[in-house]
Amino acid sequence: MQFHYIIIGGTLLAYTMYLSSVQYIEPSTVGMLGAFEPLIATILSVSLLHADFGPMDMFGGFLIIVATFMQLMPSRNPIKKNDE
């Protein structure tokens, strides 16, 4: 019975809210915010559950931040549409 909350709250409700947010926010923004999810989960687990946070965790957080900012950078070679 305890797994019902995990199934409904953690999966079904979360994905429904995530997919419905695309109606109100641009898909690129939703994807970028989704990239921060592991970093936010790590920060919350360290602060609330006093989980260990080592150098590899810090490096992973750094990679997430770098990847997110790389998504923000404009493309050097924009895709050209063919007029056929």
Residue 35 banded pLDDT, cuts 50, 70, 90: confident
Domain boundaries of the chain, sorted by first residue: 1-25, 36-74
Give pLDDT, residue 78. 66
With beta carbons less than 8 A apart as the criterion, state whether 30 and 18 touch: yes
Residue 59 banded pLDDT, cuts 50, 70, 90: very high
Give pLDDT, residue 56. 94
Give pLDDT, residue 51. 92
For residues 4 and 40, the model is more confident at 40
Q: What is the pTM of this model?
A: 0.59
CA dihedral 44, 46, 50, 54 (to 10 degrees): 170
The single residue listed with the structure tokens 């109100």 is 24
The single residue listed with the structure tokens 């429904």 is 16
For residues 74 and 49, the model is more confident at 49
